Chain A
Amino acid sequence: MQFPILSIIVFTPIVTGLLILLIPAERKTEIRVAALAAGAFALLLSIWAYFSYDIAAGGYQFIEKYDWLPALGISYHVGMDGMNGPLVLLTGIVMFTGVLISWGIDDRPREFFAFLFILATGVFGVFVTLDLFMLFFFYEIAVFPMYLLISIWGWKVTREYAAMKLTLYLFIGSVVALVGALAMYVTAGTATGQWTFDMLVLEKAGFSTSFQTLWFPFVFFGFAVLGGIFPFHNWSPDGHVAAPTAVSMFHAGVLMKLGAFAALRVGIMLLPEGAKAHMWWIIVLTLVNVVYGAFIASVQTDFKYVIGFSSVSHMGLVSMGFATLNREGMLGAGLQMFSHGVMTALFFAVVGMVYDQAHTREIPKLGGFRKVMPLVPIAFIIGGLVSMGMPGFSGFIAEFPIFMGLWGYKPWIAIVAALSIVITASYIIRIIGNVFFGSLPEEFEGHVHDVTVLDKVALVCLSTVLVIVGVFPSIMVPMVESGVNYVLRLLGGA
């Protein structure tokens, strides 16, 4: 039997989370060290899995399959391909840096890390599972701790409201998606007599075009809500803002990818004909995401809301890339999920660091922070350049093929979407100028301090990844490309 690396990655967080609960609450240092060790372990394993994936062979690797409820055709079935490999790595990175950033949490760190780790298991699970039922199972595991994390440790002003809004939105979305999934299960089961939730089997079920056209919107939108698709995006900035730093990092960095990924995995890959029928208006919606999201971000005065809406804009590019259904667009979308994940985790980490010192996020009240925390603006600038798609960083590597994919679909969409690049540049430049440069307001003189060493380690990790992928795209592109080729085969293309 081969080494069950994916299962170990999936269950390390939750097991650690439960073990942490056994440590007495007042021994905070031990709790933190245990959390960090688990984070580092999961990161190392996901790096190992990522680099030992055999791109030449392609397809699903590291497969594990155990019957779970054979009567209903449910099995624990996991595997890694070119599409979810980078996302597993991303989750590892965000988990590790998230623990580093949360070192300073003093209010019940034991419960905080336990919930955070349950969340992490849910996320890992959704990415690697090949069973539709297990996908929903892990999906709910990921959403539920979010509610507690935001409402207990969140920003005091809006946390109850935001947590409620977020949870309701996502539950409704997943219920809608579940209806679609059950329709597939029943139809495939009745037709073939083989009742199964196994997605590798359902891919070959050969649903009729009318069936696919009917159910595709249910599945796609059910999940795309979590990906922040317009007009169901407005839970997300509220949720980002109310969440504590590490949770915002998880939320924007990984959780939103969960939505986009599941919309791809279940929506587009299981119902390809449905995707073809609906793509034109989905692209129009995502175009609204991209351009309108950028416009909203540019008029916010709260630092965290700017980043929140920028996520809406960038996640629009991901959905847009998938919706083009061509090679370039999907390749870009796959890369954008990773790039945006790391970038936005970096952004929220920086916002958290500034807020912890200044106790305000109003951009006009801030200024001159480079003088007290010299490393932070450099990290933020790198993230900002990624965000505006500046060549040399991962954002360009990802966005360029998305736009090529749009050219292959409808040129005018590419042209309109490109406007977002300039708008993004304008708000990023504004933040850099107003928060980090200029003069330090008097009330902060002597009250703000540099960030801790652990924070610096986290920032360096995140920004290094962004630069490496930008300069050497070959570290990630071939892997995503192999994943895209698999999807294209399902779509009946090359």
Chain B
Amino acid sequence: MEFILNNLLTLILFTPVLAAVIVMILPGEQEQLIRWTAFILSFIPLALSIVLWVSFDPTAVGFQFEQQIEWYKALNSSFHVGVDGISLTMVLLTTLLTPLALLASFSIRDRIKSYMVLFFLLEMGMLGVFMMLDLLLFFVFWEFGLVPMYFLINQWGSEKGEREIWGGRKVPARVYASIKFMIYTMAGSLGLLLAIQMIGLVSGTFDIPELMKSWTSLNTPLFGMPITTVKAIAFWAFAIAFAIKVPVWPFHTWLPDAHTEAPTAGSMILAGVLLKLGAYGFLRLVLPLYPEESKYFAGVLAFLAVMAIIFGALASYGQDDFKRLVAYSSVNHMGFVVLGIAAAAFANGTKDPQFAQYANIALNGAVLQMFNHGLSAAGMFFLVGVIYERTHTRDLKEFGGLFPLVPVYGGILIFTSMASLGLPGLNGFISEFLVVQGSWPVFTLFTALAMIGLFFTGAYILKGLKQVLHGPLNEHWAGHISEINARELMVIVPLMVMILWIGIWPSWILDVINHAVAVFK
């Protein structure tokens, strides 16, 4: 127990690798064994992060469970892990969604072993980003997560559709989507990589807590340019990399393809956790390392976020593909996260105690929205997957009137959609309300515009529900569609419980977040 508590973060980070190794040595033809082993092993990181949550002291300032081990001494980079309230919430979200996603993957038939191994590597990559307090290793995990995701989409993605690529060559849509995802994100990270190298060279260290002091107080000209210019360029290098991952309009175009073509569990993790990496990057790196630039450019970020909210909702409304509709809804919802972050960045910069209060509220909302969207988006993608497995179509026009055929599924779909819509009493309401409350005094016009987006959120959610569940029954499905089964219920019910729990009693999680965001001043 002593050992576990002393190395808790390292253990959470590397137990997925251990699980991957165990799965790898299982005989390939024993599919059932592989599935269950992977599923059971994925509870180890979850159990450890619950231990982490319980032994975490929310009132303490700074990072906890820190551990620092020499890694790349020549560049002064070390394996430095630690969590605060923000990363703790994200670690819990990751380890919570992984077992559910693995359970949702039980219907995968093809090369289940490689699939499970990649999934565990993906989990490790994401956890690493949330835990690292070293800029170089942050980037290592940030980039590494792309690889398993690429192969999950490329190999296990949707089997239908064709797209043109590289001058008219026809490839399956999943190949197109995976390459777009990979190249888009890698190109986006290029600026981040260069900025990290520059910071490392100038500061002589990659340790994030140290950089928060030394890099922010740096004010000598660099490379023959004024320091403000260098910092502004570096700020945008960071911001664009993270904005692509979130994604913020107009950098979102990889997302609908990747989400739509990914296998169900891949979409769950993609929407549930991967998008949060971008928002987390803003919170962990951009705000602390560039407080002045963040304030200066907060208006631009808020504008982009509002565009994401409005266009995300409109685009979502315009879709006929159920999965694409849900995919665009992520653009819409993540827009609120960025809006909250932008408002906080601006408010903190003004040094006005009244504004600091707004910043605090907006950040609480943003972080909670990250967690909530993780739950509801994962749930929505899973439900889309459930119906797809039965009908082999995602075309909304082909559904219709399915409610009487699948009443339980219908009820669950309505429940999850309502969480996504922001119905009071469910989780989405709390976080979006906080974001709006915090941003209103800071960016009144933008927040008002975002309300229009919120209106369209209602419209597209109801459109989706109507086309699938209500209206005249498409006779084609009568007798051909079965009710949601027990395994699928085991995936969705925990998510529903969490959604309701946070909706009714959010303070258990807000306490942790609140103390963490209080340090942004």
Contact = CB atoms under 8 A, between A and B. Distances in A.
B195 to A, nearest CB: 10
A422 B184 CA distance: 9
Interface in A397-423: 397, 400-401, 403-404, 407-408, 411, 414-415, 418-419, 421-422
Nearest to A396: B140
A298 to B, nearest CB: 10
Which among B166, B179, B186 has the greatest number of chain A C-beta atoms within 10 A?
Answer: B186
Contact of B187 (A404, A414, A422): A422
Interface in A68-122: none
Contacts of B179: 426, 429, 433
Contacts of B198: 407, 411, 414
Contacts of A391: 139-144
A297 interface: no
A412 to B, nearest CB: 9
Contacts of B154: 433, 437
B197 A400 contact: yes
B interface, over-half SS: helix
A52 interface: no
Chain B interface size range: 20 to 34
A488 to B, nearest CB: 13
A418 B201 contact: no
A429 B182 CA distance: 9
A433 B166 CA distance: 13
A interface, over-half SS: helix
B75 A400 contact: yes
A477 interface: yes
Nearest to B171: A433
A53 to B, nearest CB: 16
Contacts of A419: 190
B183 A422 contact: yes
B143 A390 contact: yes
Contact of A474 (B73, B136, B194, B223): B73
A477 B143 CA distance: 22
B279 to A, nearest CB: 21
Contacts of A408: 201
Contacts of B183: 422, 425-426, 429
A385 interface: yes
A131 interface: no
A478 B72 CA distance: 9
Contacts of A403: 193-194, 197
Interface in A349-394: 385, 388, 390-392
A328 interface: yes
B155 interface: yes
A402 to B, nearest CB: 9
Contact of A385 (B74, B75, B147, B190): B147
Given A392-B144, A437-B155, A474 B72 contact: yes
Contact of A404 (B73, B150, B166, B200): B200
B223 A411 contact: yes
Contacts of B171: 433
Contacts of B141: 391
Contact of A425 (B136, B175, B186): B186
B70 interface: yes
A425 B181 CA distance: 12
B143 A328 contact: no
B501 interface: no
B194 A418 contact: yes
A473 interface: yes
A481 interface: yes
Nearest to A403: B197
A433 B143 contact: no
Contacts, number: 81
A331 interface: yes
A390 B72 contact: no
Nearest to A406: B197
A429 B187 CA distance: 14
Contacts of B175: 433
B296 interface: no
B75 A414 contact: no
Contacts of B197: 400, 403-404, 407, 414
Contacts of A422: 183, 186-187, 190
Contacts of B144: 390-392
Contacts of B455: none
Which among A396, A411, A433 has the greatest number of chain B C-beta atoms within 10 A?
Answer: A411
A478 B139 contact: no
B71 interface: yes
Interface in B5-26: none
Contacts of A429: 150, 179, 182-183
Interface in B134-182: 136, 139-144, 147, 150, 154-155, 166, 171, 175, 179, 182
Contacts of B139: 391
B171 to A, nearest CB: 8
Contacts of B142: 391
A477 B194 contact: no
Contacts of A421: 186, 190, 193
Given A400-B136, A401-B74, A437-B154, A407 B201 contact: yes
A411 B194 CA distance: 9
A422 B186 CA distance: 7
Interface in A8-67: none
Contacts of B200: 404
B140 A477 contact: no
Given A404-B201, A422-B187, A437-B155, A481 B74 contact: yes
A392 B74 contact: no
Interface string A471-491: 001100110010000000000
Contact of A401 (B75, B140, B143): B75
A474 B150 CA distance: 29
A382 to B, nearest CB: 10
Interface in B219-262: 223
A328 B75 contact: yes
Interface string B477-490: 00000000000000
A295 to B, nearest CB: 14
A429 to B, nearest CB: 6
A231 B166 CA distance: 29
A85 to B, nearest CB: 15
For the complex of A and B, the 6 pairs showing the least CB-CB separation, nearest first, are A391-B140, A391-B143, A404-B197, A392-B144, A473-B72, A404-B201
Given A385-B147, A430-B166, A481-B74, 6 more contacts: A391-B139, A404-B201, A407-B194, A414-B197, A433-B175, A474-B71
24 contacts: A328-B75, A390-B143, A391-B140, A391-B141, A392-B140, A392-B143, A401-B75, A403-B193, A403-B194, A404-B201, A411-B198, A414-B194, A414-B197, A414-B198, A415-B194, A418-B193, A419-B190, A422-B186, A425-B182, A433-B154, A433-B175, A433-B179, A437-B154, A477-B74
